[in-house]
Amino acid sequence: MIIPPRSTTVPSETATGAPSQRERHIRRIAERGRQGWQRDVRYGRRSVGEVAMMRYKQLIGRTLRARNLPAQQVEAACGCKVMNIMTSLGMPASRKGA
């Protein structure tokens, strides 16, 4: 499940047999709370991916300018390289504390 169920969602009363994925998620949210559910299903990973795409689109643009696939692959790779360089310049050097 990518999108969390609404906060007002209730389990389906007409469901028969094994619970669906939606039902299992609703039950887990009821048991552990929304934050606990997000930790369990690693919901933050989706946010990281969305932020990376937003940064790429802001730096490089929303469309590729090359017309054929090999050139588009090179263009995308160059865009990723630029984004990684800019990210590494802005990130603090950190190390694990003892």
Over residues 37-68, the pLDDT tens digits come to 888 888 877 778 788 888 888 878 888 899 99
pLDDT value for 53: 83
pLDDT band at 22 (very low <50, low <70, confident <90, very high): confident
- The neighbour count for residue 37, using CB atoms within 10 Å, is 20
Segments forming the whole domain that contains residue 59:
45-87
Those residues with Cβ within 8 angstroms of residue 7's Cβ, 6 or more apart along the chain or in another chain: 34
Number of domains comprising the chain: 1
Residue 19 inside a domain? The answer is: no
* Total H helices, total E strands in the chain: 3, 0
Does the residue 73 lie in any domain?
Answer: yes
> What's the sign of the alpha-carbon dihedral 31, 34, 36, 37?
positive
Residue 83 within any structural domain of the chain: yes
Q: Does residue 26 lie in a domain region?
A: no
Question: What mean pLDDT value characterizes the chain?
Answer: 82
